[in-house]
Structure formats: structure tokens, C-alpha cells
A and B are shown apart, each in its own frame.
Chain A
Amino acid sequence: MPSLKELPVGMRLATALTSRREALRLLAAGIAAGLAGCSKPNEEIVPYVRVPEGLVPGDPLKFATTLPLSGYGRGVIVTAIDGRPIKVEGNPRHPASLGATDVFSEADVLSLYDPDRSRTVLKDGDIASWDQFLRALQSQRRRWTERQGEGLRLLTGRVTSPTLARQIDDLRKQFPKALWHSYASIDDEASQVGASLAYGRPLDSVPRLDRADIILTLDADPIGHGPDQIRNARGFASHRAPQAAFSRLYAVEAAPTLTGAKADHRLALHPSLMTEAALAVANALGAGLRDAAVPQEAARFLKQAADDLSAHHGAALVLGGRSLPPAAQALVHWINARLSAPVDLIEPVARNGRSLADLVSDCAAGAVDALVIVGANPAYDAPVDLDVTKNFARVPFRLHVGLYADETSGLANWHIPQAHPLEAWSDLRAIDGTASIVQPLIRPLYGARTDHEVLSTLSGGADAKPYDLVRETWNATGKPEAGADFETWWKRALHDGIVADSAAKPVAGLAPQLPPIGPSPQAGADGAIAIVLRPDPCLWDGSFGNNAWLQECPKPLTKQVWGNALALGADDAKRLTLTTGDVVTVSSGTRRIDVPVSVEPGLPKGVAHLSLGLGRRKAGAIGNGIGANAYALRTAAAPWVIADATLKPAGRREDILTTQNVVRTPDDVRELYPLKELSRLKGGQSASPAPVLPSLLPQRPRPDDGYAWAMVIDASVCIGCNACVVACQSENNVPVVGPEEVALGRDMHWLRIDVYDHGTPAAPQPGFQPVPCMQCEHAPCEPVCPVAASVHDGEGLNVQVYNRCIGTRFCEANCPYKVRRFNFRGYSDGEEYANLGLESYRAQKNPEVTVRARGVMEKCTYCVQRISAARRTAEREDRSIGPDEVRTACQNACPTRAISFGDLHQPASAINALKRDPRHYALLEHLGTRPRTTYLADVRNPAPGFDEDRA
């Protein structure tokens, strides 16, 4: 049963407001909800592959649904066993998923079971009941009706849900004077304004990287984390096939990104010069605007890029990041139009209300007397200069609806627990406008309510079911194909996980005009550091702050976990006499935070980088007080760049926790991560078969009965996004160890992504190499095990027998690849980190995979449970497993399809072809371990005779 410490933070029991009996009743209710939680929702939901009538206990059922990231939907297929969602995977039909996932959707299933989620209605932090809330609301609604909703304000996040939009409209019809504000901390306001500058109205851009031969990004990170990552990454990868079309990527950026990591040419440029860069390219394409004030080296780079772009008219694309000022955004639009670039302009997908700034000023003016905050957390992520905390306090009636009793609920006098997307009925639009239904896989664990229920309650709809609300919306707007009735249409929409042809149509026939360009920027005050703020690659905007998988997910380029650090260039670090680990006080105006410094390559002079999303105060047992809160530096005027920051040593040090190192020792980089140039690759003959090294032992022939599993990983399309890492964690019950253990050099990830840097500190050129177990045919780990816990099976798997293992750790000591992980403590066996041992998390565990005990070695098994599942099916149907029938968790997650897995004995299987690729190589081949997991070398496509950044 939940104990007090599991109840929302800052709650006191039994107060004047809540009688003791009632509090206990609620507690009981909470428990009941928790227990009854693992059960299907009341309404009929449609399984993806089979009907629930045929539900066999223990058999997985798969349902299509949609998960939001900053309001945009990504279609997923969720596996539920006995009514418990345990694994999220991509939905091939959904344009924002294409069958793949990102870290956030993979990790959402853990958040679902987070015991720190808000569990009851709160009144000023005390347990209250829904009825009490309704009573309180009655009086409010009376006043609203009298005054037509004057003084009533609704604050939401980014709204793409048609149902929610409809309800907001209804509400405002009912209360004409009520106002709706929306705020997303990771917004794209600048690009909206930019579009308005160019086209006279806001438009969304949907780039088509799969059709782009030349790509130039201006502080944009299309393949970095975000709602559009998967689609962009897939597009990018599909156009990077050495045999077929191969694009060239120019990246201009103020701080390292995944896009910059994969770029063929990268230019580190001060953020204040981004507009100039756009200007330079525009001029090169004949815009005829004033000369761009860029340093000479940058000018060369941009000239080269511009030439390349114009040489590939129709297949050249320029992308501007969300941090670009509107003018630059408009220039990008103009350039793309000029190049007739493969980018679709569509009507904005998200509905925007008034700005948060307006709301705050109205609050300050006392014009607001009822504020309803739905699914936003401004108290944490709003620009500090708005001083939300002070101004919201002036509003007499403050209602907060959220997943957690978080920073904002602390400001509210009423808090209502919000349903998690996996337990809610709703609908969402993807970034290209495609709509899809959100269907619950489980009844709300903590009696939480969906936004729709709350809104309909506000507008007087007596406890309407979200199911009906969503159906209403689509009954009105959904367009059944001829002859089909709504029910069939609805079932199909649920089954497919998308609403057929709901994608926004590109707006055609637009001619952009050039924006007015201001004077060239003058150099900022000397010694001042410009801090680039970016959403965190693992925690995004902070809403995932209490997710242990994401907290312990190594950041792609620095491998940092459990915190963030101020990335600083070597020169600046030297100038300020700072070294990695020194804590500095960053101050800008009156705002200041303390954060440890980490010296990183690839930053322009005078520029530092800090990621948003950490430093939560009330995230929960996992996220509280982890990292530094970059929002505390952010202003409404300059959300992405703190131009005038000064750093002062705080006189103490803090460990930067990392699970591994970025490899920069040249010999190792050359040997372990060969980097090929496309031009040199042409006419490459197929790879010679791995040389059989001389041995005194008789060479064991590969057992040719049955299957021979193998994996090939294409390093040239791996973008290091970590989706595979978290997917593996969620599929295989891989525990989280927590910061203290990481500090000792321990972690449990079965699959890690090594980063090899071929560049220089000034111009890094990192490459990503996912490293699962190599499943060596001559595995060094096996002969050294005294109890035969590490053995080879007939299909080439190097299997670990957990209950035979006695923990000598000789296998890991003798593993050249260091892919085995040891349970030094009972990480999932009674000594879990923080609250990870609590009952609710157990529901997420994959019943097909053993939960390992303390003192036992564990490792990647090629998802052997999936192989055996496939084997059972095949045997039932009296056939053998198909060539590419088994798909591992990491393979499924990969947005770029970098990971291939299959049976070597079946010529039809994809890996056989890949193993013949000229780029094919095995790690540490000379050791004679004969790995089954092998790699395709990374390929870059630098412009001929232009290598400025490989000094």
C-alpha cells in the first residue's frame, strides 16, 4: 500500500478542510485505484493485431496510440501484457514515427508507473475530493456566467488536439470574455514570425530531407531530439546510401548538435552572426542585400555552401533553427523558395492562444480572477523575468491540472491529477498535421482525469466521458470514405493509429519577399559569454524530469548523466582559468545560477552551451535537485541565447558524471571507427571475408543446423539518438543504478553508444557506434567462466545463464569490448535507486525477461526472448523463422534503420548482403574473436577540394 512518502510533495493529512475520515477514505480510494489499475479501460479499445476477445493471459497485445512531445503527436504501438503496458514501439503507418521511436516515447511507459505522479485532488496542498472541487467550481462558474467569463483565463501548453481545440472554443463561446493563453517552453515563435515576414502569415515548414542532395543548417538540428526527429532522421538516412544517392550536409551552429556531428562540413559560428550567415547565403543566391558581416573563414564556408546549394537547384535545402531571429527565418524562406527546396509549407498545426507575457501582465494588473492551467508548468519553465510566481499569486482562483504535483501546483489553490497519455482518451496532430487518436491501454492508475474531462467540467458538462468527447469531435469532422459508417471509420482510425489522409496539404503558389535587414551586429562586450540554451537531449523541456531511464541516459555528445553542465570552449576555459568540474556562478543581469563547467570541443569563441530541462525542484524522488535550472537565466525577449553572461568561479568543484568517455586518442579512433570518404569509396569491391586467424585449435565449423543470428550496424546513419539504448533498457528490464553508483564507474546499459572523434578540439567530427554484445563465435568470456554460466548456444548466441552465475566477473575482465554488466548491488533486487523499488514500477517489467539478482553478470542477448517467441509462432505454424522475422528492441527503435538483424543461414536475410558491403568491418578483428555483431564504416561526403575544418 502506498505510504505517506509516496503521496504528492508537501501534502499534510487531516486538516480543517479534510476530515480525517475523508482523508483515509481517499487514501483507500487511491490504493484501490492503484490495485485496480492494471485493467482494461471500460470502453472498447481496438487492438492492433488481434481482437481482445481472444486475449490469452500472458500473451502480449499491441495497441496503436499516440504520445505527445511538446504537444505534437508521435504514433506508437504499445505492447500490453495482462493489461499492463510494458513496451513502446513505433507505428510504421504514422508519419512522425515510421515504425521507429525516440528516447521520450520509449521512456514514457516508465513515467506511466511513476509512484510520484499526483494521485489526488489537492486544495492548497492538502488532500481534497473531486466533489469538493466541483463545489468550489460551482461558485466560480456562477461568477463567470454573470460576467461572461471576464477575468477567466485558460493557460495550456501547445494545443494540437482537435478535441481540446474544440472544447476551448466551446468554453469561449460560453464565456465570451474569457481568454485563452498558450505557452510551450520549447516554442517556434520566431519561425512563425519569420514566416509572417516572408509570406504575410504564419506557416509551418516540413522539410523533406529524403529529397535533399545538399542541406545547409543554420543553427538548426533537424535530426536532433524533438517532435520531428524521427521523420527527419529517416529522411536524412534514406538519402545517405553510398551505393545510391548521398547527400552533403553543411552545418552552421553555435553549439554542437547531432546534426553537426553528422555534417560533412561544420562551421562553429557565434549565435549573433547567424542572421549574417543567412544573409551571406541569400546574397550569394542573388538577394542583393547589404553585405554580410561574417569572419573571412566563415565567408569561405558559406560561399562554398551557397555554390553547392545553387548547383543543386530543386534538391537543395536550407534549415533555420528555432533560435534564429525572424529576419533570418524569413531569409531562409526566401532562399528555399529561390532554390525551390524540398520543403512543404503548411498551415500551422498547433493552435496558439495569447502569449504568456500578456497573461502575466494582466495578472499583474489584477484583471484576472480565475486562472486554469492545463498541462503546463510555467512556475518551472517560464522566462524568469515574467515572475510568474509573484504575479499568479494575485489571482484568487488558481486551478492546476498536471501529471505531477509540481512547481506550478505549488502556486495553485486547486490541483487535479492529469491522466497520462497511456491512460487517456484524446487525439493529437503530428508536426505534418497528421491526426491520430490517443487510446488508453489501462484505466487511470491514480483516478486522474484527462484535460478533456476537466474542460468539459469547466463548461458545465456534467462528468462527460473523454471517450465520447473525442468521438464527438471526429463524428463531426472525421470523413468516412464513401459507404462506410462512422463506427467502421473509428475502428480503422484506432486500429491504424492514424486518421487517414489527415496530413496538412502543402500551401502552394506562395512568393516570399525579402525581410528588412537591420544593421550588422557589433561585437558584444569583451569577455562576456553568450550562452546558447537548448532543450536537453534526454530530458527535453524538463517534463521528463522524474524519469530515471532518461536521467541515466548518456547525453549523445558528452555522455553526461544525472545532470547538466555548462559546455565551454577550451580557449575560453583557459582565459577564465576554468577546468572541467569547476562550479561557476553564471550571471546575466540579476539572474544567476551555479553550474559545473565542462570543457568541450566545437564551441565558437565566447560561446557556452547549457541545456534546459534540469534543476527541477518538485519533479519527484528521481528528478529533484538534479542539475542546474537554465530556465532561471531565460528571458521572454531572448529565450535561446543569453548574450551577456558572465562566469565567476564559485570556488567549489562538482563531478561531471559520465558513464563512458568520448574517444579522442587518434590510434584508437582510427582502428575502432574507420571513417571513409564517399569519393574514395566509389567502385569499392565487396568486402573480403574475415581472415581466419592461425590457431592451434581445430577450427569449429559453424553449426549449420538451425539459425545463425547476426547483427550489422551501419555507423554512417547512426545519429546517436539513444533510442536504442532506452529501448533495450525497457525491453530487457535493465535497471538504473543512480548517480552514486555512476560516480563509482558503474552502469548497467547492455547497449552503449561509443563516440569517436576524428576531428580536432577546434573542429570535432564525432561518429557514433552502438556497441551491444558482439556475440563472438570464439567468445573470450566463455572459457574463463568456472561454472559454465557463459556459454554458446547452437544459433551463435553467447548466452548468460543468470542462475548459474556466481559472479567471478572473469568474463567481463576478459571481454575486449567490455559489454558485460555486473550487479554490484541489488539494482533491481531490493537495493533500487530512490523510489525505483516501489510496487508500481514492477508493473512495467517485461515478464519474458528475468530480473537479475545481486552478484550476477548480465549482458545483451540479441533479445533472445523475441527469438524464442518467433520460434514458438513458427513451430505452431509448422515453418521456420523467416529471414528478417525477428526484430530486436534496438533495431525496432532505430529511426534511421542503422541496425539490421537476421539469420546468416538464410540468403534472403538482409544482413548477408550487408556483410558483403565494402564498408563492412568487425571490431578488434585481429583478436580472432569472430564477432557476430559487425559494422559498416561511417561515410562522409565532403565537398571535393574543400576541407577547411579538417585542419
Chain B
Amino acid sequence: MTAPLLAEFADPDSLRVALDRVGHDGHRAIEAFTPYPIEGLDVPLGIGPSRIRLAMLVGGLAVAAFAFALQYYSAVFAYPINSGGRPLNSWPVFLLVPFEVGIFSAALAGILAFLWSCRLPRLHDPLFAIPGFERATQDRFFLLATADNNDDATLALRHLLEEAGALVVTEVRQP
């Protein structure tokens, strides 16, 4: 088993080129790290759609429903009072609170789903140990790729990356 390689690029375009060739030559691109979102990396990296939106929908609706149920219960069963001759179940105005809390909880659900799907928070990661990787959040573009498990392939991948314009290529060894 050989360690995956991390290649550092100066600009997004060379990253894209490298990515294409990695796929073309039968190697496997694991992940790309960029200082800002770059279109068109997901397909080669095989990043599928997420279920975050679904989670938000469910979370929002559930809490909204609970909020309405709470109002209905308290106003109709727990504490039925004549308030200005309004019906006990004044549903039109009971819709406001569910709407507000519903949206908030949808957002909360979305954030949780996001963290979960990105496996965050994760304060330590072997990549952080690699010198120069800190520029991934500033101005450098990294590609993490791996070859089939024999050293020639790995060598070929390293050449490929360097030709694609990688400034540095480092082996990432599991600690």
C-alpha cells in the first residue's frame, strides 16, 4: 500500500488540468483543497449531491408542526380562556410562531447536516502536518491523488503531477 500524493498548484487552472489527467491515466483523485470554491471539481472527484436540503425540510416542518401543536394544546385544552371573544383555536394567528421557529430550525438542521456530511468539527488532520498546506486556505490549490498499489504507478502519478505544474508534491503518510 503506497501513500497518496499531495500536489500544490499556484492557480486553479493547472489544478483542473492535473485533475483531468489523473482521471485519464487511471489514477484516483481523492480530494482537492482550494482557497475559494471552484466550479467543476465535483464530477472528477466524484462528489455526489447531498441530502442537506432534505434534512432542512424535515427539521423545519417537524418543529413548525410541534409549535402549532403546542399552541393548539395550550389554547384549546390546557388553558381555554375567552380572550376578546376569539375562537379558542385561532389558527390563522397560530401560524405565525410555527413559521418563525420553523425557519430557524430548518437552518439549524441544515448546519448540523452540513457538519455531519463534512465530518466536522475535526480539529486535527494529518494533512495539517504537511508543510505549506496552510496556504490551502489562502492562495494555493492542492490536489490529493493516489495510484494503484505499486510503486511505479505512484512514480508515474508523481511525474504526471509535476508535469501538470505542481510546485511541490509530497507523500501523505498515515501517522
Contact = CB atoms under 8 A, between A and B. Distances in A.
B81 A788 contact: yes
B40 interface: no
A792 B87 contact: no
B81 A791 contact: yes
A62 to B, nearest CB: 35
B122 interface: no
- Choose among B82, B84, B86 the residue with the greatest number of A CB atoms under 10 Å from its CB: B84
Interface in A778-824: 778-783, 785, 788, 791-794
Contacts of B174: none
Contact of B82 (A697, A781, A785, A792): A792
B151 to A, nearest CB: 73
Contact of A778 (B79, B81, B85): B85
Nearest to B81: A791
B150 interface: no
B82 A700 contact: yes
B138 interface: no
B85 A791 contact: no
B50 interface: no
B7 to A, nearest CB: 61
A779 B81 CA distance: 13
Contacts of A792: 81-85
Nearest to B92: A696
Nearest to B83: A782
Interface residues of A, number: 18
Contacts, number: 36
Nearest to A798: B84
Contact of B86 (A697, A781, A793, A930): A697
A777 interface: yes
A694 interface: no
A483 B104 CA distance: 91
Contacts of B79: 788
A778 B87 contact: no
B86 A791 contact: no
Contacts of B81: 788, 791-792
Nearest to B75: A788
B90 to A, nearest CB: 8
Interface in B50-97: 79, 81-87
Interface in A357-377: none
Nearest to B86: A783
- Choose among B79, B83, B87 the residue with the greatest number of A CB atoms under 10 Å from its CB: B83
A930 B84 CA distance: 10
Contacts of B87: 697-698, 700
A788 B83 contact: yes
Interface string B21-55: 00000000000000000000000000000000000
Nearest to B85: A778
Nearest to A794: B82
A703 to B, nearest CB: 8
A788 B79 CA distance: 10
A788 B84 CA distance: 11
Contacts of A700: 82, 85, 87
B31 to A, nearest CB: 52
Contacts of B86: 697, 783
By secondary structure, the B interface counts as loop
Interface in B96-152: none
A777 B87 CA distance: 13
Contacts of B83: 782-783, 785, 788, 791-792
A647 B86 CA distance: 60
A745 to B, nearest CB: 27
Nearest to A779: B84
Contacts of A785: 83
Contacts of A783: 83-84, 86
B70 to A, nearest CB: 15
Interface in A896-933: 930
A778 B85 CA distance: 5
Nearest to A703: B82
Nearest to A781: B84
Nearest to B79: A788
B77 to A, nearest CB: 15
A700 to B, nearest CB: 5
B84 to A, nearest CB: 4
Nearest to A780: B84
A792 B88 CA distance: 13
B87 to A, nearest CB: 6
A779 B83 CA distance: 8
Nearest to A928: B85
- Choose among B79, B81, B85 the residue with the greatest number of A CB atoms under 10 Å from its CB: B85
Contacts of A793: 82
Contacts of A697: 85-87
A700 B85 CA distance: 6
B11 to A, nearest CB: 58
Contacts of A778: 84-85
A792 B85 CA distance: 8
A754 to B, nearest CB: 24
A791 B87 CA distance: 13
Contacts of A794: 82
A510 B95 CA distance: 84
Contacts of A698: 87
A589 B54 CA distance: 95
A882 to B, nearest CB: 26
B52 to A, nearest CB: 36
A793 B85 CA distance: 11
A792 B83 CA distance: 6
A700 B82 CA distance: 9
A268 to B, nearest CB: 47
A742 B116 CA distance: 63
Nearest to A783: B84
- Choose among A776, A780, A792, A930 the residue with the greatest number of B CB atoms under 10 Å from its CB: A792
B53 to A, nearest CB: 35
A788 B83 CA distance: 8
Interface string A376-419: 00000000000000000000000000000000000000000000
Nearest to A695: B85
B81 to A, nearest CB: 5
Interface string A689-701: 0000000011010
A392 B86 CA distance: 72
A307 B12 CA distance: 112
Interface string A333-362: 000000000000000000000000000000
Contacts of A788: 79, 81, 83
Contacts of B85: 697, 700, 777-779, 792, 930
Nearest to A793: B82
Contacts of B84: 776, 778-783, 792
B137 to A, nearest CB: 47
- Choose among B79, B86, B87 the residue with the greatest number of A CB atoms under 10 Å from its CB: B86
Contacts of B82: 700, 782, 791-794
A112 to B, nearest CB: 41
A805 to B, nearest CB: 15
A780 B85 CA distance: 9
A700 B88 CA distance: 10
Contacts of A776: 84
Contacts of A782: 82-84
Nearest to A788: B81
A-B residue pairs, 3 tightest by C-beta = A782-B84, A792-B82, A778-B85
Interface of B: 79, 81-87
19 contacts: A697-B85, A697-B87, A700-B87, A776-B84, A777-B85, A778-B84, A778-B85, A780-B84, A781-B84, A783-B83, A785-B83, A788-B79, A788-B81, A791-B82, A791-B83, A792-B84, A792-B85, A794-B82, A930-B85
Given A698-B87, A782-B83, A783-B86, 17 more contacts: A697-B87, A700-B82, A700-B85, A776-B84, A778-B85, A781-B84, A783-B83, A783-B84, A785-B83, A788-B81, A791-B81, A791-B83, A792-B81, A792-B83, A793-B82, A794-B82, A930-B85
Interface of A: 697-698, 700, 776-783, 785, 788, 791-794, 930
